[in-house]
Amino acid sequence: MGMYNEKVMEHFTNPHNAGAMENPDAVGSYGSPVCGDMMEISLKIEDNVIVDAKFRTFGCGSAIASSSVATDMIKGKTLEEALALTNQNFVDELGGLPGAKIHCSVLSEQAIKLAIYNYAKEKGLVLEGLKDFDPNEEHDHE
Ligand code: FES
């Protein structure tokens, strides 16, 4: 398992915020066009702030580790702040992922963005960070 650093292994074996959420305010799920794996992110939102985040994934260890740090990082952030985070921020937080595994972190970014997109749509919110977001676009690498 020399491919993965200790932090990745730690988040993979002991992921934070894994599981289903009761009565989420927003849900986003994204399937990777690269490997077909799926990620679902659920959020609790109060006054435009993400107060809780959970994830479920049918994905590999890198996807699990990425979601673990991603859900940690978005908690306490405003919707705009969370939208500004990219998969690279999650990879950096993990101390890096092997090149062939970068796409796994994209699942976290896209699922978070979709959850916020769905929420904004439902509430009629206009968010600057969603200006160029296309919910049907496929992201195959970064
Ligand atoms: Fe599919 Fe990592 S290989 S998410």
Pick the residue whose CA is nearest to atom 4 on ligand 1: 104
Average pLDDT over residues 34-38: 92
Q: Is the predicted pLDDT of residue 110 greater than 60, yes or no?
A: yes
Q: How far apart are CA 20 and CA 81, in angstroms?
A: 23
User: Which among 34, 35, 38, 60 is annotated as catalytic?
Assistant: 35
Q: Check if 104 is active-site.
A: yes
Q: Which ligand 1 atom is nearest residue 37's CA?
A: 1
Q: Is the predicted pLDDT of residue 42 greater than 70, yes or no?
A: yes
pLDDT band at 23 (very low <50, low <70, confident <90, very high): very high
Give me the pLDDT at residue 140, please. 67
Distance 133 CA to ligand 1 centre (A): 22
Ligand 1 site residues, Cβ closer than 6 angstroms: 32, 35, 37, 59-60, 62-63, 101, 104, 107
Q: How far apart are CA 76 and CA 99, in angstroms?
A: 30
User: Which among 102, 104, 115, 116 is annotated as catalytic?
Assistant: 104
Q: What is the pLDDT of residues 55-108, one digit of tens each?
A: 999 999 999 999 999 999 999 999 999 999 999 999 999 999 999 999 999 999
